[in-house]
Structure 1
Amino acid sequence: MPLSDSMTAKWLAFDAFSLSELYALLKLRQDVFILEQESFYADIDGKDPDALHYMITDRAASGLLGAIRLFVEAGENTARIGRVVIAPEARGTGLGRSLMQAGIDKAQELAPGCGIHVSAQAYLEKFYGSLGFRTVSEVYIEDGIPHIDMIRP
């Protein structure tokens, strides 16, 4: 998804968030993961301060369109992308691919050659596969939703 003139994309460490950016991120994750998907779990899990966050916003639309969080363990040569969230109005636009590619690129920048892990909702296996991830687990239930573990070597 090419960014329009009204859109911005940026990486943020947790302590660089403004209060309004943090509120928008937590609200979008709540609206999608907890309310829309009816998965009642502790989204605020204490891990956000340790992650880098990539956010795409649109001033002309509803604000935050999508986000991911990235954990990189350079010493272990691994990374993990999670909390991939897209606002309903931005789905089907290629935003998910843009978010994931940004995460892959950032992980490779911070830990060249690292393996990248995702715990993917099972119905998205083909999408993640198209980005070079391969399935490494059977389907399992996490927070009431079928998931699979995938790695991009």
Structure 2
Amino acid sequence: MEINWSWKKISDISGAEMHEILALRQSVFVVEQDCAYLDADEWDKQSWHLLGRRDDGQLVAYARLNFPHTRYPEPSFGRVLVTKETRGTGAGRRIVAACIQKSRQEYPGSNMRISAQAYLTKFYEEFGFMGVGDPYEDEGIEHLDMVLVGQ
């Protein structure tokens, strides 16, 4: 499946496009993962947004890269998602690689920190992330902070 990727700041996202992003995030994180929480937050305004669209324009993948000193002192990424229909195509790996590349481009030499769902720690370790601290619960899902040392 061919996916077209684009990075945008909040100022470059139309109201209709932000609605599309938030609806997709809610369908995955709130409905599919059965977690009642406020998905739209202040960090949306302080982030790069990575949108992955099929050739027909359908949004099928997404992540946000938080600016440094937003969630953590380091840049971080999260809200990583791929639609059910797109899972298993390698899109998730492409998203993480794109987030790392964008972070290195925008914030050279900085470490990256993420809050990873515990079942995905092995996946993130493949990119060089290392777990730090103890696992913790976030909205009923076990998480672990992970750091990628800057290069």
> Normalising by structure 2, what TM-score?
0.91
Superposed CA RMSD: 1.8
Contact in 2 for aligned 1:77/1:114 (Cα 8 Å):
no
Please point out which of 117, 136, 143 is paired with 1:140. Answer: 136
Query: What is the CA distance between 1:139 and its match in structure 2?
Result: 1.5
User: Does the alignment pair 1:84 with 2:83?
Assistant: no
Query: What is the CA distance between 1:77 and its match in structure 2?
Result: 7.5
Query: What count of residue pairs does the alignment treat as equivalent?
Result: 147
Partners of 1:127 and 1:49 in 2: how far apart?
28
Query: What is the CA distance between 1:96 and its match in structure 2?
Result: 0.8
User: Does the alignment pair 1:23 with 2:25?
Assistant: no
For structure 1, the residue ranges without an aligned partner over 5 or more in a row are none
Identity of aligned residues (%): 35
Partners of 1:69 and 1:137 in 2: how far apart?
23
1:121 partner letter: Q
Partners of 2:23 and 2:15 in 1: how far apart?
12
What is the match of residue 64 of structure 2? 69
Contact in 1 for aligned 2:7/2:50 (Cα 8 Å):
yes
Please point out which of 4, 7, 10 is paired with 1:11. Answer: 7
> Normalising by structure 1, what TM-score?
0.89
Contact in 2 for aligned 1:78/1:111 (Cα 8 Å):
no
For structure 2, the residue ranges without an aligned partner over 5 or more in a row are none
Query: What is the CA distance between 1:85 and its match in structure 2?
Result: 1.3
What is the match of residue 47 of structure 2? 51
What is the CA deviation profile of residues 6-25 of structure 1, one whole-angstrom value per residue up to 9, with x for unaligned ones? x3210000011123321221
The runs of 4+ residues in structure 1 deviating greater than 3 Å are none
User: Does the alignment pair 1:122 with 2:132?
Assistant: no
What is the CA deviation profile of residues 72-93 of structure 1, one whole-angstrom value per residue up to 9, with x for unaligned ones? 328x972111111111111111
What is the match of residue 106 of structure 1? 102
What is the CA deviation profile of residues 1-45 of structure 1, one whole-angstrom value per residue up to 9, with x for unaligned ones? xx62xx321000001112332122101110000000001111011
Contact in 2 for aligned 1:139/1:146 (Cα 8 Å):
yes
